[in-house]
Amino acid sequence: MQIPFPFEPLLIFGCLAIMLLIGIILRAKVVFFQHFLVPSCLIGGILGLILVSTGVVHLSSSLLETFAYHFFNISFISVGLTYSDNKEKPSGGGKEYLKGPLWMALIEGVAFSLQAVIGGLFVILFSIFGLHLFSTFGFLTPLGFEEGPGQALSFGKVWEGFGFAHGATIGLTFATIGFIFAIFVGVPLANWGIRKGLSTHAPKELPHDFLKGIIPKDQKKEAAGELTMHSGNVETLAFQAALIGLVYLLTYALVKMLAGVLPPDLAATSWGFFFIFGLIIAIIVRSLMGKIGIRYLIDPGLQRRITGWSVDFLIVSTVMAIQVVIVWKYILPILAISLTSGILTLLVVLYLGRRIWSYNLERLLAIYGTVTGTLSTGLLLLRIVDPEFKGPTTIEIGLMNLFAVPIILGGTVLVNGPVWWDWSVGLTVLVFFGLMVLFLAFIKLFKLWGAPKF
C-alpha cells in the first residue's frame, strides 16, 4: 500500500521524542545519572546513538543533522525574542555591577582561543607524522566545546563543501565530548567545592526533584509563562511560535539574498551564520514591537520554554546524528585534541576562578559549564552550589552575553581563516594565541585577577 503523505520527518521527530522520554525515565530511576546530574536529553541521545549504530533503529543521519541545525536556529531566535522581566540586580552598582559579566566574557575569549590553539597545533603535529587532516579540523574544538552542537554542526556542514569530509559528524563528536567534560568533571568539582565550604549558598543536600528531574505531584509548580492572547481567539503558545516562524522566514530571505551577492566561498559559509542573523532579526522584531507598544504580547516565560524545548531536542538529535564509523576513523586526533583541550580548559578556569574577588566557586563553575557545554550546562552546575539562585552569578551569566557576543562572533569568523583567506593553520594558531594573550591582559588590566582565595 502506498502511503499518501510523507511521514519520514515526523517519524524522525517521534524517535527523538521517544529517546528523550526514555532519558527522562532513566534519569528518574538510575542513581548514577542522578549523582552526575546527566540531562535526560544527553541520556536519550546516547541511547539513540547506540541503537542507530548497532542497526537496531534505522534513521537517516542527514535528516538528524537537519533537525539539529533547525533546532539550533530556533533556540537562538527564541533567545532574541526574549526580554528580561527580572528586576533583580546583583549587589553593588556601577563598575561592580559589570565585573562579573565582564570576567565571564573574557574567560570565554581565553577558552575559545586556547581550544583553537590546541586544535590547530595538533593538526600541524599530526601532519608531521603523516596524518593529514583538513585545515579546520582542530577549530571544531572551540565550536563544539564552547558554542555547542548547533554551531559545530553548522560550520562542519559548511566546511564539507570546501572538502572537509564528514565535518558535521566530527563537529558533533567534539560537542558531545564537551558535554561529557562539563558533566563528569563539573559535577565532582561542584561537590568538592561544597565539601570544602567554598560555596556561599550551598544546601546540605540537593532536592529530590532536582536529582530525579521530575517535580512531585504534590509540590508547588513554577508557572511556565503567562497568557498574552485570549484563548477564544488564538492560543498564546501558537502566537509565540508564529513570531519565531516570522523571524525564521525573514532570516532565510536575508541569508539567501546575501548568498546571492557574496563570493562563492562566503556565500556557502553564510548559512553557517544563520543563527546569528536569526538572533539579530529577532532582536530587531522585538524592538520594533516595543516601539509600537506591543512588546508585552511576547511572553518571556513561554519563549524561554521554547528555547529549552529546542535545546533538549537539539542535543538528542546531535548525539544520534554521530556516525560511529567516521569517529573511529579519526579517533586518535579526536581524543588527543579533546582530552588536551578539556584538561587545559579546566586548569585555566580553575586558576583564574580562584583569583577573583568573591563567589569564586559559583562563577568558575558557571563559566566552566559554559565553555565546555552550553549556557544551560553552566546554569546546571551553578544550581548545584546555589540551588535557589540567591547569589549574583545567575544574573551575571545572562549579562555576560553583552560582552561575549562580539568576542565569540570574532572567534567564529577567524576559524574560517583557512577557507576564506587561505590562511595556513600555523598563522591561524598564531592569531588565536595573540587573542588569548590579549584577553588575559584585559583580565589583568580590569583588575579581575587577584590573589588566590582558596
Residue 105 to residue 188: CA distance in whole angstroms: 24
- Concatenate the DSSP letters of all residues of 116-146 into one string: HHHHHHHHHHHHHTT----TTTTTHHHHHHT
Q: Tens digits of per-residue pLDDT, 416-428? A: 999 999 999 999 9
| SS3 state of residue 447 | coil
pTM: 0.89
Q: Tens digits of per-residue pLDDT, 14-68? A: 999 999 999 999 999 999 999 999 999 999 999 999 999 999 999 999 999 999 9
| pLDDT over 60 (residue 91) | no
| pLDDT over 90 (residue 101) | yes
Can you give the residue ranges of every domain in the chain?
Answer: 12-84+95-205+233-445
C-alpha cell at 74: 530556533
What is the chain's mean pLDDT, rounded? 92
Q: Tens digits of per-residue pLDDT, 349-387? A: 999 999 999 999 999 999 999 999 988 899 889 989 988
Do the Cβ atoms of 138 and 119 come closer than 8 Å?
A: yes
CA angle 138, 144, 99 (to 5 degrees): 110
C-alpha cell at 98: 559589570
Length, in residues, of the chain: 454
Q: Tens digits of per-residue pLDDT, 296-314? A: 999 999 999 999 999 999 9
Q: Tens digits of per-residue pLDDT, 5-16? A: 889 999 999 999
94 phi/psi in degrees, rounded to 5: 60, -125
C-alpha cell at 116: 583553537
Which residue would you say has higher pLDDT here, 397 or 143? Answer: 143
Residue 47 to residue 26: CA distance in whole angstroms: 11
Confidence band, pLDDT 50/70/90 cuts, at residue 210: confident
Q: What residues have CB less than 8 Å from 65, skipping those under 6 apart?
A: 153, 157, 168, 172, 317, 321
pLDDT score recorded for residue 204: 67
